[in-house]
Structure 1
Amino acid sequence: MRKLALTATVAAFGLGLAAPAFAQDGPPPARDDATFTGPRVGVILGYDKLQPGSGPNSSISSDRKADGLTYGGDFGYDVAVNRFVIGAEGEITGSTGDVSNAPTSAAALGYGRVKQGRDLYAGVRVGYVVAPKTLIYAKGGYTNDRLDLTANNGTTTTGAHYNLDGYRVGAGVEQKIGRTTYAKLEYRYSNYGDARLEYANGGNTNNFSIDTDRHQVVAGLGVRF
């Protein structure tokens, strides 16, 4: 009887030691930051407003604006460590924003009749995982915008393009909504400080200084691989 009790005690002790080992063989617990790691691609849509800046050297009224919808796609790659996320991203977008006043008007953003063209953006974002499926982030980088211009010197109407160079900053929130899908909402501010006029024959002017502001509120849907 004493031998049987000793054998049962040893067996129970052995099972107690083995249990943690068996538990370790299962899948590791989910990490809060794992959801936001890897390459991603998505689409964006939102409100877009371009207007003259309010700098002391601006002679164009800041209530002159070209507003409409911005639309396009974005892509990026994120790395997450200890709930912090850092990544690189890019965008290619268009816009319906325009100013439809007469092409002889010098008050239309300072450019004449203006329609928004394509916009290119490249930058980085840094975020923090506040919940297993929720990321808040800030972003910043370089943006290049094209404006389609119709101008009139009093006798001749011509078309051309302005290329605007500047910076963009913003902030947003990203939410995982499926196994690989996510949604996001963000605000972005861009300021363009340099511009050049591109002629139809391919020539262009030297860069000149401007002060043009852009405000956008966009929503996005994407897939992470």
Structure 2
Amino acid sequence: REEGVAYAIGAGYDWRIGGALIGVSGEIGDVTGVTCATIDRPRQGPASPSIVGRGCASEGRAVFAGLRAGYVIDAKSLVYALGGYANVRASGRFKGEVDGSAIDASGHVDRDGFRVGAGVERSIGSHVALKAEYRLTAVGHDFAGQQHQIVSGLAVRF
């Protein structure tokens, strides 16, 4: 995999109930970077074509909509769990030959699934907090496309 960067912007609303917190949130993001491989596969039988070329795949746009619930530890710290709907766009391109015929094809697929995780927020000002999260996002058929992430961010409260 080539190096890449993940970035996102999100919005949400939290309700405090004593020392507890319940919130809704949404996020849209993108991931840069591409994974490529050279393919040189000879015919392996009458139903198996020969394939020669280069294929590349990337994850792109990611959307999340969900809930979070947490507990206020002290005046500046919050721990929380999150969960909700996730949608990830995967893109691919192949350029080469299939059974001697030139192919130059590309496309994308949107995969639905879910995200769960846990995080911590620490206030660093009256309207600003640093946050760190662990996330598991699972998408696709049988949720086979899994991604584990540790992310950090800056939260601005209005």
**TM-score of the superposition, structure 2-length normalised?**
0.81
Relative distance call for 1:134 and 1:114 in structure 2 (3 A) is: same
* Counterpart among 61, 77, 88 of residue 118 in structure 1: 61
Q: Distance in 2 between matches of 1:66 and 1:165?
A: 25
CA drift of 1:67 comes to 6.9
Who wins on radius of gyration, i.e. which is larger? 1
Q: Aligned residue for 2:30?
A: 94
Relative distance call for 1:212 and 1:148 in structure 2 (3 A) is: same
Relative distance call for 1:150 and 1:80 in structure 2 (3 A) is: same
Q: Distance in 2 between matches of 1:151 and 1:103?
A: 10
Paired AA for residue 24 in structure 2: A
Paired AA for residue 95 in structure 1: V
Identity %: 39
Flag as ranges the 4+ runs of structure 1 deviating above 2 A.
65-69, 102-105
Q: Distance in 2 between matches of 1:159 and 1:121?
A: 25
Paired AA for residue 220 in structure 1: G
* Counterpart secondary structure, 1:93: strand
Relative distance call for 1:150 and 1:170 in structure 2 (3 A) is: same
Determine if the alignment matches structure 1 residue 162 to structure 2 residue 105. Answer: no
Alignment check: 8 A CA contact 2:113 2:143 kept:
no
Aligned residues: 141
CA drift of 1:73 comes to 0.6
* Counterpart secondary structure, 2:4: strand
Across the aligned residues of Structure 1 and Structure 2, the Cα RMSD in angstroms comes to 2.0
Q: Which has the higher helix share?
A: 1
Q: Distance in 2 between matches of 1:158 and 1:118?
A: 20
Q: Aligned residue for 1:177?
A: 124
Q: Distance in 1 between matches of 2:16 and 2:74?
A: 14
Determine if the alignment matches structure 1 residue 217 to structure 2 residue 153. Answer: no
CA drift of 1:113 comes to 2.0
- CA-to-aligned-CA distance 1:10-49 (integer Å, 9 cap, x gap): xxxxxxxxxxxxxxxxxxxxxxxxxxxxxxxxxxxxxxxx
CA drift of 1:115 comes to 1.2
Q: Aligned residue for 2:92?
A: 149
* Counterpart secondary structure, 1:221: strand
**TM-score of the superposition, structure 1-length normalised?**
0.58
Alignment check: 8 A CA contact 1:103 1:150 kept:
no
Q: Aligned residue for 2:46?
A: none
* Counterpart secondary structure, 2:144: strand
| Alignment gaps of 5+ in structure 1 | 1-64, 106-111, 195-208
Higher RCO, 1 vs 2 (CA within 8 Å, ≥6 residues apart): 1
Relative distance call for 1:103 and 1:176 in structure 2 (3 A) is: farther
Relative distance call for 1:220 and 1:145 in structure 2 (3 A) is: same
Q: Distance in 2 between matches of 1:86 and 1:210?
A: 27
| Alignment gaps of 5+ in structure 2 | 42-54
Q: Aligned residue for 1:68?
A: 4
* Counterpart secondary structure, 2:126: coil
Paired AA for residue 222 in structure 1: A
